[in-house]
Amino acid sequence: MKKFLLSFLIMFISALGAMAQESVSSSEIINDIAVQKQISDIGFKILNSNKIELRMIFVYNSKNDLVKLEPGLTKRQIVVYDKNLKFASDDAEIAAFLAREICKSSESYHGVFKGMLTSVQIKCAPKKYEIFFDKLAVDLMVNAGYNPIALIIYMNKAYPQKRYDKIARANLTSKRLANVYEYIYTKYPYFLKNNEYLENEAYQNFLLTSIENRKKLAEKIKSGSKKAVNYE
Amino acid sequence: MNKVFNKFLFVITILAFCALSSKAEILRDEFIDETLGSVELTKPVSYDKYNYESFEGIPIKLKINEKITTKKDGIYDGQMLNFTVRTNVKYKNQIIIKQGTPVKAQVSTYLTKGMNGIPGTIIVDNFQIDGIDSSKIKGFYIKKGLNLSLLVFPIKWALTPIPGVGSLTNFILGGNATLSDKDTVIIYYYPLWGKIEKL
Q: Which residues contact A227 (CB under 8 A, 6 or more apart)?
A: A220, B73, B76
User: Above 50 in pLDDT, residue B199?
Assistant: no
Least confident of B37-41, B186-190, B191-195: B191-195
Q: How many domains does chain B have?
A: 1
pLDDT of res. B193: 73
Note the Cα A228 to chain centre separation in Å. 25
The sheet carrying B141-144 orders its strands as: B141-144, B121-129, B102-111, B80-85, B58-64, B185-189
d(CA A33, CA A3): 45
Query: How many of the other CB atoms lie within 10 Å of CB of B2?
Result: 6
Q: Please give the helix or strand (H or E) that residue B124 lies within, else none.
A: strand B121-129
Q: Which comes out higher in pLDDT, residue B2 or A86?
A: A86
- What percent of chain B has a predicted confidence (pLDDT) above 90? 49
b (16+ CB within 10 A) / e for A181-197: bbbbbbbbbbbbbebeb
Task: Please report, to the nearest 10 degrees, the dihedral formed by the alpha carbons of residues A125, A129, A134, A137 taken in order.
Answer: -120
Nearest to B47 among A110, A132, A143 (CB): A143
Task: Give the 3-state secondary structure of residue A191.
Answer: helix
Residue B155 placed within a domain: yes
B58 φ/ψ angles, rounded to the nearest 5 degrees = -100, 120
Residue numbers in B near A142 (CB within 8 A): 44, 46
CATH assignment of the domain containing B105: 2.40.128
Nearest CA distance, A134 vs chain B (angstrom): 10
Q: Give the structural domain span for B139.
A: 58-189
Tell me which residue of A73, A52, A191, A149 sits closest to B47, measured CA to CA. Answer: A52
Residue B31 placed within a domain: no
* Per-residue pLDDT band at B198 (split at 50, 70, 90): very low
* Per-residue pLDDT band at B197 (split at 50, 70, 90): very low
Residue B47 touches partner A, C-beta closer than 8 Å: yes
pLDDT of res. A166: 83
According to DSSP, the residues that pair with B137 across neighbouring strands are: B189
Contact assignment for A128 to B111 by CB distance below 8 Å: yes
* Per-residue pLDDT band at B186 (split at 50, 70, 90): very high
d(CA A92, CA B52): 25
d(CA B102, CA B107): 16
Mean pLDDT, residues B15-44? 77
Cβ pair A80, A118 in contact under 8 A: no
* Per-residue pLDDT band at B20 (split at 50, 70, 90): low
pLDDT of res. B25: 74
* pTM recorded for the entire structure: 0.85
b (16+ CB within 10 A) / e for A131-153: bbbbbbbbbbbbbbbbbbbbbbb
Residue B83 placed within a domain: yes
Residue B81 placed within a domain: yes
The answer for B 101-130 residues in CB contact with A (under 8 A) is 106, 108-109, 111, 114-116, 118, 121, 123, 125
Mean pLDDT, residues B107-120? 93
Residue B20 placed within a domain: no
pLDDT of res. B182: 94
Question: HSE of B33 in the Cβ direction (CA atoms, 13 Å)?
Answer: 5
Q: In tens digits, what is the pLDDT along chain A, a chain of 232 residues?
A: 667 677 767 776 666 555 555 555 788 888 889 999 999 999 999 998 888 889 999 999 888 776 677 888 888 889 999 999 999 999 999 999 999 999 999 999 988 888 888 898 898 889 999 999 999 999 999 999 999 999 999 999 999 999 988 888 899 999 999 999 999 999 999 999 999 999 999 999 999 999 999 999 999 999 999 888 999 8
Q: How far apart are the first and last CA of chain B?
A: 64
pLDDT of res. A19: 54
Note the Cα A133 to chain centre separation in Å. 11
Numbers of helices and strands, H then E, in chain B: 3, 10
Residue B131 placed within a domain: yes
Residue B6 placed within a domain: no
Nearest to A124 among B41, B79, B116 (CB): B116
pLDDT of res. B21: 53
